[in-house]
C-alpha cells in the first residue's frame, strides 16, 4: 500500500513536467470523434464519410511521415458547378520539437499513417450538403492528413532515432498528386487549414498560388492559425521556446519565406504575425480572440502557473478573476494589433470573434448552423464565402468578452488530460 501511495505521489509531482510535454504540441483529442458526437447530438444529417488515400509515389521523393510511412489524404469529388473548383484543407495536430516527443508522435495518427482513421466525416467547410456548407458543398474537397509535426514545413531527419522530418516534401508530394488528378484545371481554388494546419496555410499560401494559371481564382483561409509570440503568466515565452525547438530540430528555416528570414530570426518567422504582411495571395484570418489552445499552452500553461492561480480560470472562463480577464484582454489587443496592417489590404479578410474557441471552420455548429457565432448579422461561413467570391469586403472584429452571446465556447476536458498525464508517467 505504501509503495502504491509513493507511486501516486510521484505521479502528481511529475504532472508539472508532463504538462510541459502536453504543451509542446500534443493535441491528441480525436476531433473527428468529437464532431461525430456533436452531429448526432444536435440532429444534423449523418455526415459524409470519406475514405483514406495513400500518396503512393511519395516515398520515392522522401515525402514520408515521422515514422517513414506514406502520407495521405481524404478526397471527395466535386460535381456540377463545383467540378472545377478545389478546396484543400490541411489538418492540424500540434508540433514536436524534441526527439522524445517526436518518438511519441510517430506512434500516433499525427506521426504515422498506420494509425490514421480509414474514414473521417466531412462536415463544416468540407460538408457536401448545401444546407451545411452553402458556398463549397459541391467542390472537390480534400483533407490532407498531418504527420510531420512541423506544420508541413520541415526537411530533415534523425537517422539514429528513425525519425523523418519531411513536412515540406509531404506538402509538395500531395500537391503534385492532386494536380495529376485534375486540380491543374481548377477555375477556383481555396487552401485552408486549422491550428497547425492554419499556420501551414499561411506558410504555403503563395506556393499554392504558383501552382495555377493567372486566371484561376486562388485564395487561402487560416483558421485558428494566428499564433502569437506572447509573454506567459510567468514572464517567459512558452510558445517561442516550443517553436524554436521545432524550427531547429526539423530544419524548418529552409521552408520559410525569404522575405521574412532575410530580416528576422527564422524562429520569429514561424509566427504568423511576422508572415502575414508578406503573403501576396489573398488571405482570410479566422480566429477566436481568446484562442483556447493559446491560453492553455502559451499564455497560462500549468508549467508557467507555479501556484495554480489559473486553475479555476482554465477549467471555466466564467470563473476568471478580474485581473485574469484583463490579462486575456491584453492578449486580444495584441492579436488586433498584429492584424492591423494586414486588414488594410482590400484583398484580405478577417473574422475575429470574442469567443473561447479553437478551429471554427471544421465544426458544423460554428461553421454554419442556425445558432452559429456571428459578428453583426453574419456568421463565419457567410463571411468566408462573401470574401472569397468578392461579394462583400469582410473585416469583422467582435466586441470584447463577455458581450458576444453567440459564442460556442469550448470546455476543457480534464479527464482526457489526466489520461494523457497518466500515460506519460508510466511510459517516460
pLDDT by 10-residue block (mean), the chain, 428 residues: 48 43 41 46 73 97 98 98 98 98 98 98 98 98 98 97 98 98 98 98 98 98 98 96 98 94 97 97 98 95 94 92 97 98 96 97 97 97 98 96 92 39 32
| C-alpha to C-alpha distance for 314 and 328, rounded to whole angstroms | 12
Question: Does the annotation count 358 as an active-site position?
Answer: yes
Q: What is the pLDDT of residue 315?
A: 85
Question: Does the annotation count 195 as an active-site position?
Answer: yes
| C-alpha to C-alpha distance for 91 and 144, rounded to whole angstroms | 6
How many CB atoms are located within 10 Å of the residue 408 CB? 18
pTM: 0.89
The one catalytic residue among 113, 153, 195, 245: 195
Tell which residue, 243, 239, 358, 246, has the closest CA to residue 301.
239
The one catalytic residue among 110, 204, 358, 408: 358
Question: Does the annotation count 223 as an active-site position?
Answer: no
| C-alpha to C-alpha distance for 314 and 200, rounded to whole angstroms | 27
Question: Are 37 and 123 spatial neighbours (Cβ–Cβ below 8 Å)?
Answer: no
Q: Which CATH class is domain 49-423?
A: alpha beta
Ranges assigned E (strand) in 276-422: 283-288, 349-353, 374-375, 378-379, 395-397
Q: What is the pLDDT of residue 391?
A: 97
Question: Are 373 and 360 spatial neighbours (Cβ–Cβ below 8 Å)?
Answer: yes
Q: What is the pLDDT of residue 45?
A: 64
Which secondary structure element, helix H or strand E, spans residue 37, and what is its range? helix 31-42
Contact partners, residue 3, CB within 8 Å, separation at least 6: none
Q: Are strands 188-194 and 217-223 parallel, antiparallel or unpaired?
A: parallel
Q: What is the pLDDT of residue 3?
A: 53
The one catalytic residue among 67, 229, 291, 305: 291
How many CB atoms are located within 10 Å of the residue 40 CB? 11
Amino acid at each position: 500500500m505504501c509503495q502504491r501511495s509513493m507511486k501516486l505521489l510521484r505521479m502528481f509531482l511529475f504532472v508539472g513536467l508532463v504538462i510541459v510535454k502536453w504543451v509542446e504540441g500534443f493535441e491528441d483529442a480525436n476531433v473527428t470523434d468529437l464532431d461525430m458526437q456533436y452531429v448526432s447530438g444536435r440532429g444534423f444529417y449523418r455526415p459524409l464519410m470519406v475514405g483514406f488515400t495513400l500518396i503512393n509515389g511519395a516515398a520515392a521523393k522522401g515525402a514520408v511521415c515521422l515514422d517513414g510511412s506514406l502520407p495521405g489524404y481524404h478526397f471527395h469529388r466535386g460535381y456540377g458547378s463545383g467540378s472545377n473548383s478545389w478546396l484543400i484543407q490541411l489538418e492540424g495536430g500540434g508540433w514536436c520539437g524534441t526527439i522524445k516527443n517526436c518518438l511519441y508522435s510517430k506512434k500516433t495518427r499525427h506521426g504515422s499513417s498506420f494509425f490514421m482513421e480509414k474514414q473521417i466525416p466531412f462536415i463544416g467547410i468540407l460538408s457536401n450538403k448545401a444546407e451545411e456548407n452553402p458556398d463549397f458543398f459541391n467542390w472537390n474537397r480534400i483533407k490532407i492528413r498531418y504527420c510531420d509535426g512541423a506544420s508541413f514545413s520541415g526537411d530533415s531527419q534523425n537517422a539514429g532515432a528513425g525519425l523523418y522530418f519531411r513536412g515540406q516534401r509531404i506538402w509538395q508530394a500531395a500537391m503534385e498528386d492532386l494536380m495529376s488528378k485534375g486540380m491543374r484545371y481548377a477555375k477556383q481554388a481555396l487552401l485552408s487549414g486549422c491550428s497547425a494546419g492554419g499556420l501551414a496555410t499561411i506558410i504555403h499560401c503563395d506556393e499554392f498560388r504558383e501552382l495555377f494559371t493567372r486566371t484561376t481564382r486562388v485564395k487561402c483561409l487560416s483558421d485558428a492559425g494566428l499564433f502569437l509570440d506572447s509573454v506567459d503568466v510567468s514572464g517567459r515565452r512558452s510558445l517561442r521556446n516550443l517553436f524554436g525547438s521545432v524550427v531547429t530540430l526539423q530544419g524548418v528555416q529552409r521552408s520559410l519565406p525569404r522575405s521574412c528570414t532575410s530580416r528576422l530570426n527564422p524562429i520569429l518567422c514561424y509566427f504568423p504575425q511576422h508572415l502575414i504582411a508578406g503573403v501576396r495571395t489573398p488571405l482570410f484570418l479566422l480566429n477566436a480572440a481568446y484562442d483556447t489552445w493559446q491560453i492553455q499552452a502559451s499564455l497560462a500553461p500549468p508549467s508557467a502557473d507555479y501556484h495554480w492561480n489559473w486553475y479555476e480560470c482554465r477549467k471555466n472562463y466564467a470563473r476568471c478573476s478580474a485581473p485574469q480577464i484583463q490579462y486575456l484582454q491584453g492578449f486580444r489587443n495584441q492579436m488586433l494589433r498584429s492584424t492591423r496592417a494586414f486588414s488594410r489590404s482590400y484583398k484580405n479578410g478577417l473574422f475575429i470573434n470574442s469567443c473561447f474557441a479553437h478551429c471554427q471552420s471544421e465544426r458544423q455548429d460554428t461553421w454554419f448552423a442556425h445558432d452559429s457565432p456571428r459578428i453583426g448579422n453574419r456568421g463565419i461561413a457567410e463571411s468566408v464565402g462573401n470574401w472569397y467570391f468578392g461579394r462583400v469586403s469582410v473585416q469583422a472584429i467582435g466586441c470584447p468578452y463577455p458581450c458576444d452571446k453567440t459564442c460556442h465556447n469550448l470546455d476543457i476536458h480534464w479527464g482526457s488530460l489526466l489520461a494523457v498525464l497518466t500515460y506519460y508517467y508510466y511510459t517516460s
